[in-house]
Amino acid sequence: MKCRTRCVSFWILWIVCFSLLGQSLGAEPMVEAFVSPPNETKPWCYYFVLKGNLTREQITLDFQAMAEKGFGGVLVVDSRYYYDEFDSKEHVPVPIHVRHEFMSESWQELILFLIQEADRLGMRVSLNIANSGGMLRGPWDMGGDGPKELIWTEENVDGPKNVSIPLDTPAGKNFYSDVALVAVRVTSPVSQGREEIKLNRDWYPVSDPAEDAATVGETRDLRQFVQNGRLSWSVPEGHWKIIRFGFHVVGDFGAVDILNEQAIEGYFHRFADPILERARPYVGKTLTHFYNVSWEGSHPNWTHGMDRFFEEWNGYSMAPFWGVLRGLCVENREVSRRFLVDYYRTVSRCFQEHCYAKIGKLCHEKGILWHSEDGGPWRRTAPIFRESDMLTFWGQNDIAQGEFWVNTHDATRTRSNMRFAAMSSNLYGHRETACEAFTHMTKHWTMYPAWLKPAADVNFIDGMNFVVWHTYTASPPEHGVPGLEYFAGTHVNRNVTWFPYVEGFLTYIGRCQYLLRQGTFVADAAAYVSDKNYVDWGRGEKWNKDSTLVLPKGFAWDFLDTPSLLRMECRDGMLVLPSGMSYRMLIVDPLEEEMPLEALRKIESLQKSGAKIVFGQKRPLRERGLRHYPNGDAEIQQIVARIWTPADTIPLEGLAPDFEGNFQYHHRKIDGMNLYFVTGSGTSLCTFRDAAAEALRWDAVSGEVRKITLTPTPDGRFQTTIALPTHGSAFLLFGSEQKPNAPALSETASDALKTHEAEGVFLRLDAPWTVRFDPRWGGPESVEWETLLDWTQHPDDGVRYYSGTAVYSQTFQSTLLSDEPSDVPVVLSLGKVCHIARVRLNGEDLGVVWTAPWEIDISRALRKGENHLEIEVANVWANRLIGDALLPPEERFTRSNMYLYEKPGDIPEGGTRKFMPWQGFHKEDVPMSSGLLGPVLIKAPSRFLSQHSKEYDEYKVFSP
C-alpha cells in the first residue's frame, strides 16, 4: 500500500532513528525496531513443567508455537512438591507421576534439547535453579548444609553451689551443633523467667522479650568449664539460668542454608556445573539467565559463624546479649530492642549477601545473568525479612523481578509491586525490570488479551519493561484439552482457545518494552523514609501511610534505600546516582523516629553541597541499633537541630507538573529527547513539561507512528488533546533539535508513519451472517443469523456453552475506492468482540483484532463491487467447562485436572473445605459473553466520503 503521508518532514524521523542509534538494540533504526520488535525486547513466558513430564516432540511444538506468536524467551520451572499432589482435594490435583527426575541424566538431556530448540528459533532461556516454586531446594540431601534454626534450653540454679551437668546431644534435632553456653543472673523481677525447663530435655525457638520479661544483670560465658561433654561450674550467689544455645537443620529435604555462602556455593555447583557443561556452546547466548522465585520457603535464623558476621557488621560482640534471644532483657528494654534490630539485620544481610549476591557472582563467573523475585512480597515478620530493605534485596540482581495479579482490574492496582521493583532498578542501574505477569487464582481459562491489556499498561506505567507471562504449562498431549495446568496464572499454551490469535497482544508488549527500555526514568524527587523499605503491594502514591508530605499529582518520585543514599552526589544542584538517575530534590520524611547515623550525616553533607532537601514533620531522635549507642543518639539530635526545618508542603518553587491530564503517565529521557507513555480511556487535554511544538505519536497496538503538533502554554510547557480508546495507550516522543539532510526512510519505517484524519461510516454490515462452529466442541456446523447475538443467549446448548473459534462470513457490495484504492485508508470496525478476532477480506489475512477500538485497516484488500468477509472469533474455555459440568463424565468434551462439580459450597470427597475458585467449574457458573456482537461498520475519512460516497449520507449517523 502506498503511504499517503510521505510529505511528513524527514528531519524528525532522523532524530528518532539516528540520535538514538546508540541506545537501540542492534543497529535497527528506532521506528523499524518499534514496528517489528527484535527478539531481545519480546516478552517471555514461564514454561512450567509438571513433574518432569516432557518430551522432545512437545518441546519442539511448544517452542515453535511460542516463537511464531511472539515470545522471545522462556523461564523454565520444573516444580516438585509445590501444590502438585496427585489427587489433591484441597488444591488442584496433578494426576501424573514423575517422568524425569529433576537433574537426572534424562532430565538434563531434555533441558539441553530445550536450549538447542530455543537457539534454533532465536529465543533465550532462563532456568529456575530449584525443583520448587517458592524456595531454593534441590533433589540432593544437603545434610548439614540445610537451613538452620537457633534453639535453646536451660536450667535454673540458685547459688552458691557447684553443678555438674552432662550436655547431651538432643534427640530428633538434625545435625545439631552447640553455639553458646552462658549463665545469666536474673535480677528483676526474679519471679519471672524461672519456668520449669530442664537442660537436655526441653528445647525452644528464640523469641523476643515479652513486656514483663525478667532482666539480666550479668552474663558469663561457660564454655571454658566444659570438658568431655560435661559442664562443671561453681555457681556464684544469686538467681542464675544456665542457657545452652544450638542450632539444628530444619525445612524441606533438599533445601539449602540460604544464610551460608559455602552452602550456597555448593548448591549452585551441584545444579549449574552439569547443566553448563552440557550447554557450553549456548551459555551467555541462548542460556542467558538463572532464576529463583519469590521466597516462600523456610525462615532460618542462624548459620555457621553468624556471631562473627554479627561482630564484623555491627561493631560489637553479641556475647553479652544471648539472654535477649532467650526472651530476657539485658540491661533494659531499650538496649534489648536495639540488639534485636542488629540481630535480625544480620540474619537478613546474610540472606542478601550470602545467597542472592553470591549466586549473582557465581552466575557472572559462568557468563550468565541472575534474576530473582527476592524483593517480595515476603512475610515481613520472618527473621530473614524483619529488618530487611526490599530495594536493597532487588539490587542484588542483574534484573529485579516483581509480580502483578489480574483477579480483577482493581487487583492490578492492589496486587502489584512493580513500582517498587522499578525503583530498585532505577537506583541500581538495571536497564530491565522484569515481572511475573498476569498471575491470578480465580477461574481458570477466563482471561483474554483485551482484559489483560489495562493490567499490562498500568505496570508499564509503574516501570515494568520485561514481561514474563505466567504461565505456559507444558501439558502432556495425552491428557487432552484444555489439559493439565499449574494451579495459578493466565494460561497461554497451545491448548488455549485464543492462542492462535495472541500475536497481536504479544507484539504490543514487545513494542512497549522496546521503547520503555530506552534511556532513564524521569523523577523529580527521591524520598528517604527508612532503612528497611517494604511495601506488600501498591502503586507508590505515597511513601508511607503516615506521610507528612505528599508530592502533588504530575510529579514522579523514587524511594531511596540507605546504600543508594550513601552513593548519592550533588552536581549543579541535582542529586545524582551512579546509575544515571538524577533528582531535583531529596525528601526526608521518616516513617519512624529512628534513622541510621551515617544516613543523616550524608543528608547534611548533601545539603552543604547545595542539594535541595525537604524535611517532613517527624524528626529522627535516635538510631535503631547499638553500634553508636548512646552517643549516636546525641549526634543524631545535634544534626537534626542544625539542618531540620520541617515543611508543611513540598516547595516546588514554580516547577510545573511534568504531566497534566486525565491519563496516567511514564516519562523517560533518551539522549536529550523525552518519551512519554500515557494510558487511559477517552479524550483529555494533556500538558507536557519536557516537550516541544512537534512530536511523534507511536501507537503500539497498530504500529503506526505519526507526527502531531502541540500548542505552547504560558508556563513554557506544551499541550495537545489526546483521544484514546477504552483502555488505550500512546507514546509521544519529543526531539531536542532539528536535523536537516535526513537520509531516506526504509519502507518499514515510512509505512509506519501515518496522518490522522476524522473518520465517518461508509457502510454498516447487517444480516445475514453465516456462522460456522466446530462440532467437535459441541457447536452446530453452520447456522444463518439474522442478527448478531451473544452465544450465551442462544437456546441451543451447543452454542450457549461453546468454546473455541466460530467463523462469521458475509458478502457485501462496495462503491468506495472507485479510482485509487491504495490511497484511501478504510477501516473495519467490529464493535464489541468477545474475546478476540481475525479478519480476512477477499481471502487476504488482514490480522488480529484484540482490543479497543476493535478496528483494522482493510484498505489493501477492499475491492469495488463484491467483497467476501470472514471474521474468526474465539472466546475462552470457561463456557465449555461449565457446560461439561452439566454432563455426565462420559459425554464431556474437555479433559483437564480441574474439578467439575455440582454447585458452590460443595466439598470434594475426602476434602475438608469447599471448592476454591482455582479448583474448577460448577454447573451453576454463569457463562461468559461470547461472539461477535457488533455493530460491524466500514469507515473511511469523512473528507473522502463526503466527496466520493453516496452511501455516506445514509450512514453518517454512526460517525464518531
DSSP state, residue 97? -
- Checking if the pLDDT of 13 tops 70, the result is no
**Burial track 162-173 (b if 16+ CB lie within 10 A, e otherwise):** ebebebeebeeb
pLDDT of residue 739: 36
Three state DSSP letters for 30-88 = HHHHHHCCCHHHCCEEEEEEECCCCCHHHHHHHHHHHHHHCCCEEEEEEECCCCCCCCC
Sign of CA dihedral 921, 927, 931, 933: negative
pLDDT value of position 197:
80
Residue 159 has pLDDT above 50, yes or no: yes
Kindly indicate the confidence band of residue 742, based on its pLDDT and cuts at 50, 70 and 90. very low
Q: What is the pLDDT of residue 10?
A: 33
Residue 447: count other Cβ atoms within 10 Å of its Cβ.
24
Q: Over 50: is that where the pLDDT of 602 sits?
A: yes
The mean per-residue pLDDT over the stretch 862-882 comes to 96
Peptide bond into 476 cis (omega under 30): no
Going by pLDDT thresholds of 50, 70 and 90, the confidence category of residue 941 is: confident
Q: What pLDDT is recorded for position 198? A: 81
Please name the residues in contact with 223: beta carbons below 8 A apart, sequence gap of 6 or more. Answer: 180, 181
Distance CA 422, CA 461 (A): 10
**Which of 7-21, 117-131, 253-267, 335-349 bottoms out in mean pLDDT, i.e. has the lowest?**
7-21
When mean pLDDT is compared across 534-543, 787-796, 821-830, the lowest value belongs to 821-830
pLDDT above 80 for 309:
yes
Considering only 186-190, 565-569, 615-619, which range has the smallest mean pLDDT?
186-190
- In this prediction, residue 29 carries a pLDDT of 61
Q: How far apart are CA 344 and CA 328, in angstroms?
A: 16
Strand order of the β-sheet with 525-528 is 557-559, 525-528, 585-588, 613-615
> What is the average pLDDT across 19-46?
71
pLDDT value of position 3: 37
What is the spatial distance between Cα 565 and Cα 392, in angstroms, rounded to a whole number?
A: 11
**127, 291 in Cβ contact below 8 A?**
yes
For 333-348, write each residue's pLDDT tens digit.
Answer: 999 999 999 999 999 9
| Dihedral sign of CA atoms 929, 932, 938, 940 in order | positive
Residue 238 has pLDDT above 80, yes or no: yes
Per residue in 255-296, pLDDT (tens digit) is: 999 999 999 999 999 999 999 999 999 999 999 999 999 999
Using a pLDDT cut of 70, give the percent of the chain over it: 91
Dist. CA 358–CA 882, nearest whole Å: 49
Cell numbers 561482630 correspond to 311
CA 56 to chain centre: 30
Helix or strand run (H / E) with residue 424: helix 418-428
Between 538 and 602, the more confident residue is 602
At 414 the pLDDT is: 72
Other CB atoms within a 10 A radius of the CB of residue 491 amount to 26
Residue (of 72, 135, 559) closest to 373 by Cα position: 135
* Residue 392 neighbours by CB distance under 10 Å: 25
Q: Which of 728, 749, 777, 754 lies closest to 880, judged by CA?
A: 777
CA–CA–CA angle 870, 875, 880 (5° rounding): 125
For 386-435, what is each residue's pLDDT tens digit? 999 999 999 999 999 999 999 876 666 679 999 999 999 999 999 999 99
Q: In residues, how long is the chain?
A: 960
Q: Is the pLDDT of residue 639 over 60?
A: yes
pLDDT tens-digit series, residues 374-390:
998 999 999 999 999 99
What 600-607 contacts at long range (C-beta under 8 Å, 24+ apart), as own/partner pairs, is: 600/636, 600/639, 600/640, 601/639, 602/565, 602/566, 602/568, 603/528, 603/565, 603/643, 604/639, 604/642, 604/643, 606/568, 606/569, 606/570, 606/575, 607/643
Instruction: Tell whether the model's pLDDT for residue 604 goes beyond 80.
Output: yes
Residue 816, pLDDT > 80, answer no
* pLDDT given at position 870: 98
Q: Answer whether residue 17 shows pLDDT above 90.
A: no
Per the CB < 8 A criterion, the answer to whether 516 and 665 are in contact is: no
The answer to whether 116 touches 278, Cβ cutoff 8 Å, is no
Burial 775-786 (b: 16+ CB within 10 A, else e): eebbbbeebeee
Residue closest to 880 by CA, chosen among 807, 798, 806, 805: 798
CA angle 421, 425, 426 (to 5 degrees): 115
- 660 DSSP β-pair partners: 687
Average pLDDT, the chain: 91
Q: Span 37-46, mean pLDDT?
A: 97
Whether pTM > 0.75 for this model: the answer is yes
Instruction: State residue 475's pLDDT score.
Output: 97
Average pLDDT over residues 691-712: 95
Question: Of the ranges 195-204, 409-418, 703-712, which one carries the lowest mean pLDDT score?
Answer: 409-418
* pLDDT of the residue at 269: 98
Indicate if the pLDDT at residue 359 is higher than 50.
Answer: yes
Q: Is the pLDDT of residue 752 over 60?
A: no
Encoded amino acid at 358, one letter:
K
Q: Say what the pLDDT of residue 201 is.
A: 85
| Band of pLDDT at residue 947, cut at 50, 70 and 90 | low
Report which of 853, 803, 770, 776 is spatially closest to residue 498, judged by C-alpha positions.
803
Contact 116, 282 (CB under 8 A): yes
Q: CA-to-CA distance for 424 and 480, rounded, in angstroms?
A: 43
**Over 50: is that where the pLDDT of 110 sits?**
yes
Percent of the chain with pLDDT over 90: 84
